[in-house]
A and B are shown apart, each in its own frame.
Chain A
Amino acid sequence: MSSVLRATGLSKSFGGLVAVKDVSFEAAPGEIFAIIGPNGAGKTTLLNLISGLLTPTTGRLELLGTDVTAMPTYRRCRLGLGRAFQVVQPFPEMTVAENVLVGAQFGSEGVSSSEARRRADQALERTGLDRLRDQPVEDLNLLQEKRLEIARALATQPKVLLLDEVMAGLRPGEARQAVELVRGVRDEGITVVFIEHVMPVVRDLADRVLVMDHGAELARGTYAEVTSDPRVVEAYLGVEDDDSRAGEESADARSVREAPGDDAGATAGRDA
């Protein structure tokens, strides 16, 4: 099967610091691909290389068979790459609907105003934001902001969606809704590449997992494969014990796992 996103030997250095070191991977159509690793492993730098906010020092990146290594962000977006940020990047003085409309209007070439509105409405509906459409963005809570970020990215009609820690800071029930949303997106044939700290979310969602440490690939495979890899346990999970942030997140994660609505996966499975 051909890949929709292929990185070959991607590296990025800032002065003497190598943030990403010779990373290669491919994401297949309709796949959910997770990138995990301890803080400072280079995950966000890798995502910035993919979305075009940074240009790699060496290496090559292909999106849907096109070399996009040095392509500016707006052209990658029009080619089919959507991104939702960990730190949300909305247009703060617009309404929810207008934010999404900008994505719908400019995310693809030659979209008529009526078509843009249709796409925006669709994205709002899919992310459960249609009732908030006329709210100013500054009135949204964190979950709603993250939904908006995803809605705006979806409105650009992506073929690949990059999600940067969209679960961080969400309460268990909210994270569950977000997991369902990501599954729904994948079920429409959109490839999802995501960075996540909340391990049960990775377990529930990811078809394949890339584990990074110190900028380089440490392991790759299914969730079960990588979490049983002793190197991963040492480098990644071992950090959890003496890292209060990771500890907090794993508490979050436990509650996701134990929360009563844990059949979210089953529901999505039936829908599919």
Chain B
Amino acid sequence: MDLSLLPQAIVSGVLASGLYALVSVGLALAIGVIGIVNFAHGEFFMVGAFLAYQLFVSFGFDPLLSLLFVAPALAVIGALIYLSSIRFVLRAPELNQMLLTFGIGIILQNLALLIWGGDPRTIANVPYRSLGFQVAGVSIGAVPLGSFVISLLLVAGLYWMLASTPLGRAMRAVAQNRIGAGLVGLEVDRVYLVAFALSALLAGLGGVMIGVIQSPTPTVGLGFTLKAFAIVVLAGLGNIRGIVGAALTVALAESLVATLVPNGDALRNMVFFAIIFVVLVWRSRRVA
């Protein structure tokens, strides 16, 4: 183990945590407000990445500009998926819901494979891609830093919206008591629709950033569903406020394992499963 890599591992983990929080907060929103565990969440992220890639290839759009186009596109995709399928399984057993969302994920993934093929795609020629600076031997890339800042701003915006706007109050009311919400005049189905569209939108914006950070393939989504799921489980199902702390924990764990453990890079995905496993076992012991 080479401890001289520790500061770099910590900084990389912290910078990754912003994007993780952004993707996870959308998943937590769908679980917390609608009560649906969306296994297609990572595919919204993937679709966002490839839309940004296509906008870059076809029109030369900078990813920062693409954010403005991908957001409404993903909200519409999310809304259409909600209206065409999700709303029919809201009272169905959880297994049916999971199978449905998993199926939606497979459809989206294969549509992307048809359109863009299986090769990794990257938004390479942006001027700031290779920018970066060194602080005390730790290198900080402009792109990871930028994605961290943008992600945290979006998450903070969501928190503000939930805390202080009528729409946010409606979402919390529906999440906390669906019957009570209907009786004081809230149209629960419409709040669900908006929450699901917003959830897809947030994942899609995360996807735009991954298109610059990495070279995603159409199968990138499942991995991010898994990461987001580990974070959501760690925060507590449906707990939106706990997401930032949980994302930081998971991102740091991943970064430390990948950097400090020999051959650790191959163990990245194991970290998420281990976190889900430990948290579930620990919680169930506490309950029992």
- Enumerate chain A interface residues (CB-CB to B < 8 A): 51-53, 72-74, 77-78, 83, 89-94, 98, 101-103, 105-108, 113, 116, 152-153, 155-156
- CB <8 Å contact, B173 and A107: no
| Interface residue ranges of B169-187 to A (CB < 8 Å) | 169-170, 172-173, 176-177, 179-187
**Smallest Cβ-Cβ distance to B179: which chain A residue:** A89
Interface residue? B166 (CB, 8 A): yes
- CB <8 Å contact, A102 and B173: yes
Q: How large is the interface on B (under 10, 10 to 19, 20 to 34, 35 or more residues)?
A: 10 to 19
Task: Give chain A's interface secondary structure class.
Answer: helix
Interface residue? B188 (CB, 8 A): yes
A103 to B177, CA, bound (A): 13
- CB <8 Å contact, B177 and A91: yes
Contact of B170 among A72, A102, A153 (CB under 8 A): A102
Contact of A156 among B170, B179, B185, B188 (CB under 8 A): B185
- CB <8 Å contact, B179 and A105: no
- CB <8 Å contact, B183 and A73: yes
- CB <8 Å contact, A98 and B169: yes
Q: Which residues of B contact A91 (CB under 8 A)?
A: 172-173, 176-177, 180-181
8 extra interchain contacts, Cβ-Cβ under 8 A, other than A51-B183, A53-B179, A91-B173?
A52-B182, A73-B182, A89-B179, A92-B176, A93-B172, A94-B176, A113-B166, A152-B180
Q: Which residues of B contact A98 (CB under 8 A)?
A: 169
- CB <8 Å contact, A105 and B169: yes
A-B pairs, top 8 by smallest CB distance, nearest first, are A89-B180, A77-B185, A103-B184, A73-B182, A107-B185, A106-B185, A91-B176, A102-B173
**Smallest Cβ-Cβ distance to A155: which chain B residue:** B184
Interchain nearest-CB distance for B214 vs A (Å): 37
| Interface residue ranges of B195-210 to A (CB < 8 Å) | none
Contact of B169 among A73, A77, A78, A101 (CB under 8 A): A101
Q: Which residues of A contact B173 (CB under 8 A)?
A: 91, 94, 102
Most buried by B among A93, A106, A155: A106
Q: Which residues of B contact A113 (CB under 8 A)?
A: 166
- CB <8 Å contact, B180 and A90: yes
Q: Which residues of B contact A92 (CB under 8 A)?
A: 176-177
A102 to B185, CA, bound (A): 9
Beyond A91-B176, A91-B177, is A77–B183 a contact (Cβ under 8 Å)? yes
Beyond A74-B185, A74-B188, A108-B185, is A102–B169 a contact (Cβ under 8 Å)? yes
**Smallest Cβ-Cβ distance to B174: which chain A residue:** A91
